[in-house]
A and B are shown apart, each in its own frame.
Chain A
Amino acid sequence: MEFWEVYFKRNKEVVWRILGDDCILLHLESGIYYTLNEEGKMLWEALDGKNKLAEIRAKIMEQYEVDAGTIQKDLIEIMEDLIKEDLVEHDKNPFLEPKMS
């Protein structure tokens, strides 16, 4: 599946706080703290498993006047870090979930 088509969500083992422009994450298993910049903060808040990464990218692009290529490059970098540090997990496509009757 293409990267931008994936539904990512925040790892439940991560606690986080938004402090103004900063976002602080704490991985409960490793005990390591991380900080995210404003762009990373927007991405992190949007990672709820309900939207494809492409949809999140589009929303972030709407809010910045920077060119699309730069934002895309930044988001890839942040996502790679989040994946590498086990701060996010893949989620199933919520629209393919069997519906409860």
Chain B
Amino acid sequence: MKEASLDHLSRIIQLKRVPFSVVFEITDRCNLTCLHCYQENGGKEVLSFHEIKLILDDLEKLGTMKVTLTGGEPLLREDFIEIFFYCSQKGFATKLFTNATLLNSEHKKAFLKKPPFAVECSLYGASAKTHESITGVAGSFEKTLANITWMVEKRIRVLVKSVMLCLNVHEMEALYRLCHGLGVTLHPTFRVYPFCDPSRSPERWRIKTEDLKALRRKKTALFKNHSDFDNKSGELVCNAGREACCINAEGKVYPCVALRWECGDVRKQSLSEIWLQSPVLQKIRSFHDKDFKGCFSCPWKKSCNFCPGMSFGEHGDMLLPSKELCRLSAISSGGDDLQEESMGRD
């Protein structure tokens, strides 16, 4: 027996063509109205518990090991506990991605009986004022904080996820301190995805270039090995559609939660058929690093954790460079200043 490195695991998984990690959006509804959210809130004909069970049965047969239940807000589903327990029964490592405002006594009982593998919670500031200026719901900060505290006390593994926007970046260091005090790890990102509901244009809330430059100049700990900017291998191909996929609330299948290139619909075909035969997935699996022509020879490649989902959202083509990721990686690596200097010399 041996402890498996992620590289070794990845080789096995891709060789056997397994959707090892699946994000399942079990609802499209949310009780918060976050400004930067890429999802449309409500309106879909969501999958029934029976349909969800069939999909989970299929995932078990395909060899899936990790399932992340998300939304919308997954705790809004009245049958959430049944879905959660069914995931455990099927032997999945079940994660939850939630805003943690709706955790009630029944959820708590369920989590004590069968703790989730991990709970990822969204928190957008170190104060109610900032957090709620983004979520749009008064009282959400206090509820999220109280439920994170409860989960930590019960030794449930909690990660805090935060999107750094022009509205909350001033509290980033305070948010690190808050999370440290709570005993949880903070995973901030600067990435705001443009799609799903373009009328809301969430891009306008992205961190401003001068604010990100100021952070870089302060040499905050954030830039050390930050997942947005760290790509030591320089690889461009990711696991989307190769060892991971996403199913939305009405059964549409995507290679990843970020890459919304539709591969099929579980209401028309089984998930196994989609995973093994979808032309979109076959195309994605055929791509190599050199196919990402604009990025392949980019000097900032190693400070850009390239996301084809961002490119797809911007251009409808996952192989093109993403303007937003180019902006972020150029700033994080100091390349923007080099560019300005060289332009000055010309």
**Residues of A in contact with B (beta carbons under 8 Å apart):** 15-20, 22, 24, 26, 28, 31-37, 40, 78, 81-82, 85
Contacts and interface: CB of A to CB of B under 8 A. Distances in A.
A41 to B, nearest CB: 10
Interface stretch (B8-16, B205-213, B320-328): B8-16
Q: Which 8 A-B pairs have the closest CB atoms?
A: A33-B4, A81-B1, A35-B4, A19-B16, A15-B93, A17-B63, A17-B65, A19-B63
Interface in B56-88: 63-66
A35 B92 contact: no
B106 interface: no
Contacts of A15: 65, 91-93
Contacts of B345: none
Nearest to A43: B1
Given A15-B65, A19-B16, A19-B18, A24 B1 contact: no
Nearest to B93: A15
B8 A35 contact: yes
B292 interface: no
Contacts of B1: 34-37, 40, 78, 81-82, 85
B2 A26 contact: no
A34 B4 CA distance: 5
Residue from the set A16, A28, A36 with the largest chain B CB neighbour count within 10 Å: A28
B111 interface: no
Chain B interface extent, by class: 20 to 34
A35 B65 CA distance: 13
A19 to B, nearest CB: 5
A17 to B, nearest CB: 5
B3 interface: yes
Contacts of A16: 91
Nearest to B5: A33
Contacts of A26: 65-66, 93
Residue from the set A16, A17, A78 with the largest chain B CB neighbour count within 10 Å: A17
Contacts of A33: 3-4, 6, 9
Given A15-B93, A19-B18, A35 B2 contact: yes
A24 B9 contact: yes
A24 B4 contact: yes
A20 B3 contact: no
Contacts of A24: 4, 9, 12, 65
A28 B16 contact: no
Interface in B11-61: 12-13, 16, 18
Residue from the set A15, A32, A40 with the largest chain B CB neighbour count within 10 Å: A15
Contacts of B64: 17
Interface in B69-124: 91-93, 115, 117-118
Nearest to B64: A17
Residue from the set A22, A24, A81, A82 with the largest chain B CB neighbour count within 10 Å: A24
Given A19-B12, A24-B12, A26-B65, A32 B93 contact: no
Contacts of A37: 1
A32 B9 CA distance: 11
Contact of B16 (A20, A31, A78): A20
19 contacts: A17-B63, A17-B65, A17-B91, A18-B63, A20-B16, A24-B12, A26-B66, A31-B117, A31-B157, A32-B3, A33-B3, A33-B4, A33-B6, A33-B9, A34-B4, A35-B2, A35-B4, A40-B1, A81-B1
